[in-house]
């Protein structure tokens, strides 16, 4: 779904380490996303990058109050001129907005997928959200309720 929404995704090293921790630590049961994640990287549309430029490195210092993944995501986006980042951290969301980035919650990514017809119904939207929550995504009950209300208002793309 992400490939259909965005032609390329940049993942900071710290986020990659978080996502692949189950592999590195040889968990008995791997999360379901691992195979798709590795395939996306092999296919080349998901790229893992370090923050290297002076502006990005300065931001890493400035954003020390954020977790490493959020800190690197904002710094990498600014460094590479990327306009949208995905975060589910309120503080990182606000920091990204203050730097002129469009910060999207996971629920907004799913809404974009619903609007483009990648999710066929509100039920599919709700199912995708529930699966992400089961896999470890934390979303408050209020946010879930608001997201489902927004999903119900989405106009389906015209398909003759």
The tens digit of pLDDT for each residue in 3-29 reads 888 888 999 999 999 888 888 888 888
CA count, 13 A, side-chain hemisphere, 110 = 24
Q: Structure pTM?
A: 0.85
Could you read off the pLDDT of 69-80 as tens digits, one per residue? 999 999 999 999
Nearest Cα to Cα of residue 106 among 96, 93, 118: 93
For position 155, what pLDDT does the model report? Answer: 73
- CATH entry, 2-104, from 1.10.3470, 2.60.40, 3.40.50, 1.10.760: 3.40.50
Q: Where, residue-wise, is CATH 3.40.50 in the chain?
A: 2-104
CA 119, CA 36: separation in Å to the nearest integer?
18
CA 132, CA 148: separation in Å to the nearest integer?
14
């Amino acid at each position: 779904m992400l490939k259909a929404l965005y032609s390329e995704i940049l993942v900071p090293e710290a986020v990659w380490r978080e996502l692949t921790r189950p592999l590195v630590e040889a968990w008995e049961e791997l999360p379901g996303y691992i195979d798709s994640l590795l395939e996306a990287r092999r296919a080349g549309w998901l790229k893992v990058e370090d923050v290297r430029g002076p502006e990005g490195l300065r931001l890493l210092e400035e954003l020390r109050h954020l977790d490493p993944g959020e800190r690197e995501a904002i710094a990498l986006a600014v460094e590479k001129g990327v306009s949208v980042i995905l975060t589910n951290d309120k503080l990182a969301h606000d920091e990204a907005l203050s730097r002129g980035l469009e910060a999207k919650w996971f629920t907004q990514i799913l809404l974009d997928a619903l609007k483009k017809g990648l999710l066929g119904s509100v039920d599919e939207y709700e199912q995708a959200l529930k699966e992400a929550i089961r896999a470890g995504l934390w979303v408050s009950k209020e946010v879930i309720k608001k997201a489902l209300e927004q999903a119900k208002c989405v106009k389906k793309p015209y398909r003759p």
